[in-house]
Structure 1
């Protein structure tokens, strides 16, 4: 009987030990180091956090112990790349939890965090701190537990056209158009397809289509895409839109499309052909033609200061607008300074003579030979920018000299240039006066003859006339 009683006692003791061990084992196998409270993250929305976007955490709080709990406080302590959101509390409370709760019982709390925009793909830890009270009155005990959960961050897949190296495309001229594509996200991109289109059909690719492929582009890296393009010869100068389309693939092989636009200016500078047209009485006429593909506004033609030539009067003239293919004539009074240079080099200039008196010299074939005239053309292009073009013109004069226009007393090209004409006029006037005197004498002789004068008088008159 005693043996049976001792055996029964041992069995009962073993049962209590096993039950205690089972309770302790159940608590040790939980998600939090607590003998009576389990805290678990049951849901994350979205499943992987994305940089620059919020993420919502759903946390379950379950009392699996044998005692009721009260004043439960759950607090989330975020670390980089997570931060709190304004207006969203990171600490929430549950007033009471019954003992021995099932899986579908307990409290459910939700927390919102913001993911940093520059976060890289990976996993990050967050601590959840829980405080609660067990017991009642003066015998109640406050417990604090800490649980670490892991959040996954998915990198941001995004690319953009950072720069276009050439924003100006000349008309009817082959140009290179370069796009610099940068992965501004935090995850690698692969199998990217870049294409563009001008809705008006003015700018078109040449030698290839408008599509380029990028096999792989790591986060933060850039790649240059080069196109050969040309603008329509009949295009109106102005700003045109390029619609750019980028299709990219993330590490989960999901396709994303990014659409953007860029502007390019069609039309640019032009060119001119300047040639000697003619010379007349001291004027040099130049033919100025717009040989480029763009219109030139407010064209101004000038003869700048230079060694071999000098302009008498205005050195500039405004000829207005020149369409492509148009031309105009600009005239200037040009003199040669070659004689002055020769005089100064030999030191033969007459002392006391004004320098201006020897600086000007009529243009001759010898004085312009191998001495091109420098001409400057200023114009405004279609973008409103003022452009200057320098040209040189060979003056082709025949033998002899080109008379210079009068500039006032004491200068070459003044009244002395008219001396040949004055001499001709004087000779013509003298001849006219002489002829009139002859006619008067003949008339006088006729009058005497009709008056029956004696032969001696007639002979005398004829002799006089001969004299």
Structure 2
């Protein structure tokens, strides 16, 4: 190797050493700037611990300068990401002023932030991002940390309500179930079903199963069914068996080194409820006739699907009709479904010669033992008073019927008069004969002479 080659070799070595030295220095500079200059950010505590979905989380953060220089104009900022969110009333940035160097008292600051937690978060540990930076021209810092927050979640649900307590036999009813998420995590892939003892109640137009994709925390999902029971169903309380199944999010996921493994586990909630079949019924009132005495007769029919006990029909005070004689109520007793009876009322219309509405009140005890009142209104023609017209006709009829008796009486009276007159005349003649005994012979002589 000649001198030139040796010099070139030495130059290359020196250049390589210089480059390596520069790289090392550069790396040292990067490290020194990224070593956060002795600044530390730590989570002191969280409240509540663990926090539940939908709650408000309060975190206490410690910021400390362990370096050898003061740092002025320091700021701490939180940047929440799912499942955390900034509250509208909270400021995510705090100006903490100067962080003194390690030998000074103001080297440490304790900060408190409040953030919200989403409702649909599952149980686990989640990062909360915190930034520390300064506007100090001499000692600028920019530091990011992720604080680990524990979230506790529990899935649970309940049948909050049933829209119907009673059903009328033979009447189609919309039955609505309210399913509420009372847990701390959303209910996913839910399935609800119900069944009635002995199939007394059956769905119409659909099955007894409904699927619900998602029920958020605190929310209620309504599922409805059109149902029907037989018209001849005996009144009483019938049991419904309710079943709700859904994915158990917390038990579905198992943490392994490879990540999350789906276990496909379902959670089932069984409950029961009661629905009363029976209760109220319906009535029909129709006008039948008006008697000569002025009484109106009505038919009262039980046209519903339940019996009615202690039935009473009344005519309340109203503008068009007035009850004139007797009570305004008639007790009819018990009416089974399909039965009817009659009720009479003495009524006086406000005006005559036209149709006037008349209102009835029917009170009865339903099959569930509750006193009910049913209102019914029908049109009723107000005819002239038959009672007064009937009285005149009766008088004329009485006079006509008495005429033969009057004629007979007059004949008898005339016959008696003739009889008395002849008797009187006979007595007069006998008296005259006794007073003039010759009168008869003289008369006879005159008759003979002639």
TM-score range, shorter chain: 0.5 to 0.7
Separation (CA, whole Å) in 1 of partners of 2:401 and 2:179:
83
Separation (CA, whole Å) in 2 of partners of 1:231 and 1:182:
27
Separation (CA, whole Å) in 2 of partners of 1:439 and 1:316:
60
TM-superposed CA distance for 1:268, in Å, is 3.4
TM alignment of 1:63-462, pairs within 5 A: 121-123=122-124, 155-251=153-249, 252-280=263-291, 281-311=293-323, 312-338=325-351, 367-396=352-381, 401-404=384-387, 419-420=395-396, 423-424=399-400, 427=403, 429-438=405-414, 440=416
Separation (CA, whole Å) in 1 of partners of 2:154 and 2:229:
37
Q: Secondary structure, in 3 states, of the residue corresponding to 1:234?
A: coil
TM-score with structure 2 setting the length: 0.54
Q: 1:154 to 1:397 in 2, by over 3 A?
A: closer
Separation (CA, whole Å) in 1 of partners of 2:336 and 2:381:
28
Aligned-residue CA RMSD in angstroms? Answer: 3.7
Separation (CA, whole Å) in 2 of partners of 1:316 and 1:379:
13
Q: 1:151 to 1:279 in 2, by over 3 A?
A: same
Q: Which deviations, in whole Å up to 9, do the C-alpha atoms of 1:197-254 show, x marking residues without a partner?
A: 1113221110011011112223322211010011210112222111101122212521
TM-superposed CA distance for 1:121, in Å, is 4.5
Separation (CA, whole Å) in 2 of partners of 1:50 and 1:246:
27
Separation (CA, whole Å) in 1 of partners of 2:399 and 2:339:
45
The answer as to whether partners of 1:177 and 1:228 remain within 8 angstroms in 2 is yes
Separation (CA, whole Å) in 2 of partners of 1:439 and 1:315:
59
The answer as to whether partners of 2:120 and 2:217 remain within 8 angstroms in 1 is no
TM-superposed CA distance for 1:188, in Å, is 2.4
TM alignment of 1:3-42, pairs within 5 A: none
Aligned length: 277
Separation (CA, whole Å) in 1 of partners of 2:355 and 2:390:
28
Query: Gaps (5+ residues) in structure 2?
Result: 1-49, 53-118, 127-147, 250-262, 430-450
Q: Which deviations, in whole Å up to 9, do the C-alpha atoms of 1:261-318 show, x marking residues without a partner?
A: 1111212332211111112122110011111112222211112222232212211111
Q: Which residue of 1 aligns with 2:441?
A: none
Separation (CA, whole Å) in 2 of partners of 1:337 and 1:435:
52
Structure with higher Rg: it is 2
TM-score with structure 1 setting the length: 0.52
Q: 1:442 to 1:337 in 2, by over 3 A?
A: farther
Q: Secondary structure, in 3 states, of the residue corresponding to 1:314?
A: coil
